[in-house]
Structure 1
């Protein structure tokens, strides 16, 4: 049985939490990492995350569904969800919430990791991961070749877009957000702030209604 809390010195610590272990090698990381543990290697530090919240999971499921359907329709690549890592180098092995690999790089997909940067990454921020995501992971991803990153902040209902060499763009409320990497893909932010009110297939059909396919 997987526990959703940790126990230290007979004291139970409930989520959200982060556990850090310093001076971890790439080999040690891959021996430790399993499908049941959300963990990353950031600058040689093993970072273990607490289980995701329901809000996080709802947004994740919505975006995974939309991206999967849209990419299959347009043949623009493959989307991969949590528990699959992106190896940028021996010190930086990240587990984005969602990442998209374009057709030209699908050969970099290995059985247990993506070798090199994804083209498009989505991170859903939480109180426990916000600082690490914004100050360490995202800059490293951009430095290593990720072309576009969406950082979604459910708590503040805000989405930031990071593109190398460009000023960060910030979207809120029910604004329309369009991807620079995935041709024709867009969302209305209201869909992810109110996932319980919008059916994924309705949102997908809305995206398609604005497209022209040959």
Structure 2
């Protein structure tokens, strides 16, 4: 039986039981990504990964396993706290906000030492414990590119400012897991942009703690903590 990833997410229990009698092939955008199958010798269901799990779900792995997966596929993944996350294709409201922000950031930072980048762009972050993570923020501002550009042409430092635009599949990860990751790894400022309620939450981190936090909505003008005069009018940021 073949089902798409959305159908499986919505009816996982149903297909888990059906897998006892026949293999369930899971597809995303018409491409087979995984399979539910019966492990005959032990008479139990086994989740067999051909690539990785359904978008938004974490899968335990070592960092080396993640790097091997990253080198073998064109799919987009993040690795946070020992788990691999498949990144979904963003929707229009998400991309509208990202496009508006990158245009505004480009104009603001032009001629300075800071450069805004958008995903997909891998950022490797190490926690104080030594645990490695790799994420693809929706938008980031890097002010030390020349100092931390590796021989492989990947950036090895920590962005000064990171922006994540919320979507249904990433909401929990962006609000909780990534906020904690950025706090611990030296990101100075974190913007959480919510197209659904037309809101921006801005955190300023210092010494692995939250120094300041402010929320902007509706007709407000969002203002950066660390970049003087960086201001974004929310009125023109979101798709009408």
User: What range describes the TM-score normalised by the shorter chain of this pair?
Assistant: 0.7 to 0.9
1:86 to 123, 126, 139: 123
**Aligned twin of 2:105:** 67
Contact 2:145/2:155 (8 A) holds in 1: no
CA displacement at 1:114 relative to structure 2: 2.7
Q: Normalized against structure 2, the TM-score is what?
A: 0.69
What CA distance in whole angstroms lies between the structure 2 residues aligned with 1:55 and 1:20? 25
**Aligned twin of 1:209:** none
CA RMSD of aligned residues (A): 2.5
- Superposition pairs for residues 18-57 of structure 1, below 5 Å? 18-25=56-63, 27-33=64-70, 36-57=74-95
Question: Any unmatched runs of 5+ in structure 2?
Answer: 9-23, 30-53
What CA distance in whole angstroms lies between the structure 2 residues aligned with 1:12 and 1:133? 25
The change in CA–CA distance for 1:36 and 1:173 in structure 2 (over 3 A counts) is farther
Contact 2:125/2:185 (8 A) holds in 1: yes
Bigger relative contact order, structure 1 or 2, given CA contacts below 8 A and separation 6+?
1
What CA distance in whole angstroms lies between the structure 2 residues aligned with 1:130 and 1:95? 15
Number of equivalences: 187
* CA deviation string 1:1-37 (max 9, x = no partner): xxxx6486245568x9424321232x33233236942
Q: Which one has a larger percent helix, Structure 1 or Structure 2?
A: 1
CA displacement at 1:105 relative to structure 2: 4.8
Contact 1:84/1:112 (8 A) holds in 2: no
Matched residue SS, 2:95: helix
What CA distance in whole angstroms lies between the structure 1 residues aligned with 2:236 and 2:113? 23
CA displacement at 1:81 relative to structure 2: 0.7
